Chain A
Amino acid sequence: MPAKTRVPAVEGWFTTEGDEPALLGTRCRSCGTYAFPRESYFCKNPACDGREFDDVALSRRGRVWSFTNNCYQPPPPFVPTSDPFEPFAIAAVELADEQLVVLGQMVPGTSVDDLKAGMDVELVVDTLFEDDEHEYLVWKWRLVETGAPA
């Protein structure tokens, strides 16, 4: 069976190349503020009338701000990947340099029992769902093993 084509589940929100995937945000050329998802039209800073933005890869590591899980299958447009449904954890993660909090699913195998606020996590790219030809990708958070190199 030929390998499925790996495609991002949403265009332009994260990189998939190489070992170090990252969320793609923007930085305003006028005031320097960050935004995720990418800004293309207006800068949210009320004191700035900037209209031009540079794409930037956001920090790949952050700290857990809060977390929860889905014990029941969410409604469409969520696409279930298992039957019966397997609960999965979701974390809100603080990025220190950008000073913003980003949501993401935790990788499979990490449950809420494994999580505490303040824990270090890093970004990975993983399968969100598949169809006959494609594997749709999304960013997820993975706990950084204690003692692993920074």
Chain B
Amino acid sequence: MNNDKQIAVLGVGMHPWGKWGRSFVEYGIEAARAALRDAGLSWDDIQYVAGADTIRNGYPGFIAGATFSQALGWKGNRVASCYAACASGAQALNIARAQILAGLCDVALVVGADTTPKGFFTPVGGDRPDDPDWLRFRLLGATNPTYFALYARRRMELYGATGEDFALVKVKNAKHGLANPNARYRKAVSIEDVMASPTVADPLRLLDICATSDGGAALVLSSMEYARKRDAKPVRIAAISTVTPTYPQTIIEMPNFSTDSAAVVAPPERAFRDAIGFAAYEEAGIGPDDIDLAEVYDLSTALELDWYENLGLCKEGEAERLIRDGDTAVGGRVPVNPSGGLASFGEAIPAQAIAQVCELTWQLRGQADGRQVDGATAGITVNQGLFGHGSSVIVSR
């Protein structure tokens, strides 16, 4: 790692994902307490709280950082709150990192938690014809799976991907999730199960698409100096990428009706999803060959295959070969989603990017019982938030 701007992960914690029907605050606080226990620290030691907001509770998550702080006991700590859709967790982590690297605090807590309704994600209510996220439902009936399916079909048309290839991703992630106590779905799935599930948005079937879940995740972070007094070789955050696309964005993205035009300005060297991971690699001073495992945002099975290529784990058009050969299963060349991924968790938006870092931390410490990637020393997460929020974190030891 060439990056000298690193911070340590002292503790990680999660509230199991599920449909629990309780307040997001409970999930967040249980995760925070678990992370504090894991770090061997108490709430008194925390100087700074960064909360990743949910939009599910009127105001963005009662404005999460303050609500979490109050639930842990108001003590005048400094606080921040942020919302960046699925990238909220990485943003909260990035805010806490900046505070630590600037020397403004030694120890910070990052918390994200969500409680979600059933079914398709729907836009915020009311008549809002100026909002593309509202209009796409009104004018096109374009749900989130509509966009996932356009990418999946594109892989079929360009690279000959099949429904069975997509099903293999679900089979792998379900198998990984069997051993994860925080996973919502802990049940083996066969290719036949996936192929027998009803088509939602052709070519994607119900079992190709991730559910929405309740859950909470938290991290206790510190300066390297603070960490080294307790642990000679702490797990470190080596890079955080929060990049936007570069104009023109030539791949159709949720919730847009069109891409940018490439008629006047040529497409950038790296398309958005390639650029997200690239910025993290560049910051960490490493490349795809140095990565032992990855946690990627498998909103759909087919999207996981896209991420293999976006992260440089293989060349464009080779992702199907990786999944068929077992390269991305635990025990393979570069395991992807050893946690079980969104396939086993379902998406709890503001908690998910934090949960990805929890999993990498357990993996790098050798504590991922039943799904351990042997000898892992560096891992990468990747994710993106609506309207152009990149999110990628490199964790190393």
Q: Which residues of A contact B (CB under 8 A)?
A: 9-10, 28, 31-37, 44-47, 65-72, 74-79, 88, 90, 92, 97-105, 112, 116-117, 128, 138
> What's the least CB distance linking B69 to chain A, in Å?
34
Q: Is B232 an interface residue (CB 8 A)?
A: no
In the complex, what residue of chain A is closest to B158 when comparing beta carbons?
A117
Contacts of B193 in A (CB 8 A): none
Contact B261 A35 (CB under 8 A): yes
Q: A104-B140, A117-B157, A138-B139 are in contact. Are A75 and B122 (CB under 8 A)?
A: yes
Q: Is B258 an interface residue (CB 8 A)?
A: yes
> What's the least CB distance linking A21 to chain B, in Å?
15
Greatest chain B CB density within 10 A among A66, A68, A79 is at: A68
Instruction: Report the separation of the CA atoms of residues A23 and B251 in the bound assembly, to the nearest whole angstrom.
Output: 19
> What's the least CB distance linking A103 to chain B, in Å?
5
Contact A68 B150 (CB under 8 A): yes
Q: Which residues of B contact A (CB under 8 A)?
A: 119-120, 122-123, 127, 129, 134-143, 145-146, 149-154, 157-158, 198-204, 247-248, 250-252, 257-265
Contact B150 A72 (CB under 8 A): no
Instruction: Report the separation of the CA atoms of residues A37 and B151 in the bound assembly, to the nearest whole angstrom.
Output: 22
Contact B198 A71 (CB under 8 A): yes
Contacts of B141 in A (CB 8 A): 70, 74, 78, 88, 90, 105
Instruction: Report the separation of the CA atoms of residues A30 and B72 in the bound assembly, to the nearest whole angstrom.
Output: 55
Contacts of A77 in B (CB 8 A): 123, 127, 134, 137-138
Instruction: Report the separation of the CA atoms of residues A104 and B146 in the bound assembly, to the nearest whole angstrom.
Output: 11
Contact A101 B258 (CB under 8 A): yes
Contacts of B258 in A (CB 8 A): 36-37, 100-103
Contact A32 B263 (CB under 8 A): yes
> What's the least CB distance linking A11 to chain B, in Å?
8
Contact A71 B199 (CB under 8 A): yes
Contact A69 B201 (CB under 8 A): yes
Q: A66-B154, A88-B141, A117-B154 are in contact. Are A100 and B259 (CB under 8 A)?
A: yes
Contact B202 A100 (CB under 8 A): no
Contact B134 A74 (CB under 8 A): no
> What's the least CB distance linking A129 to chain B, in Å?
9
Greatest chain B CB density within 10 A among A44, A69, A77, A105 is at: A77
Q: A77-B134, A117-B157 are in contact. Are A97 and B199 (CB under 8 A)?
A: no
> What's the least CB distance linking A147 to chain B, in Å?
23
